[in-house]
Amino acid sequence: MSDRLQTNLGYTFGRHTLLKHAVTHSSFVHEQKLNASDSNERLEFLGDAVLELCISDFLYHRYPDMSEGDLTKKRAALVCESTLASLARKLAVGDFILLGQGEAAEGGREKDSILSDVFESILGAIFLDGGIEEARALVLRLYEPIADKPGKQANDYKSSLQEILQRKSHETATYTIIDEKGPPHKKIFTAQASHQGKILGVGVGGSKKLAEQAAAKEALGKLKK
């Protein structure tokens, strides 16, 4: 399992436990009665930041004449849930995810939300194992072929909110998961969008990314009023 996934990634781990950690879903942890910290959620948090840095640097140098607003939209399209899930499928990541039986029975290996999260957790694991340059190498290899393709812009409320906020401030909106409910294979997340210490919106979704988009959507509605 580990060798085949590493071949797909084009990266060999020095610490193989990091890769196992990266593909361990919370439903598996719950079913096996492991510690919550044994799931990939912390690595996903790290990988999300690593991906944003690598993509931002990639776009900055690839498109020297592109405006900040257009760079933001381009980045949003490249790191959205559907794009990450598509890349995860190219790497056959779904074959290696450790899932609980309930989640597996409901097609968890093909869910965009799970695939995108595991993609980010693997990137976080590579960063911890080999450093930022190894993480950047994987990002460049995967994104070079798709960077110039039209991105999916529909319903990108986070980018729209950021454009409005940038007219008045250089500070970006921050998103916090303030609640999660339900069994591991059917979690519902609640996200909060804030700016300069002020809560702008709250949203609910079946994944963290969808909850953040819902929070941004509510914030946009309030700002437009």
Largest CA distance in the chain: 54
Q: Among candidates 204, 183, 212, which has minimal Cα distance to 106?
A: 183
Active-site residue identified among 48, 112, 117, 218 = 48
Angle in degrees, CA 55, 137, 70, rounded to 5: 15
Tell me whether residue 48 is one of the annotated catalytic residues. Answer: yes
Measured between alpha carbons, how far apart are the two ends of the chain, in Å? 53
Q: Which residues of 93-124 are buried (b: 16+ CB within 10 A; e: fewer)?
A: bbebbbbbeebbeeebbebbbbbbbbbbbbbb
DSSP 25: -
Active-site residue identified among 44, 120, 156, 212 = 120
Contact 93, 119 (CB under 8 A): yes
Q: Which residues contact 126 (CB under 8 A, 6 or more apart)?
A: 9, 11, 13, 134, 135, 138
Q: Which residues contact 130 (CB under 8 A, 6 or more apart)?
A: 11, 13, 14
Q: Which residues have a catalytic role annotated?
A: 48, 120
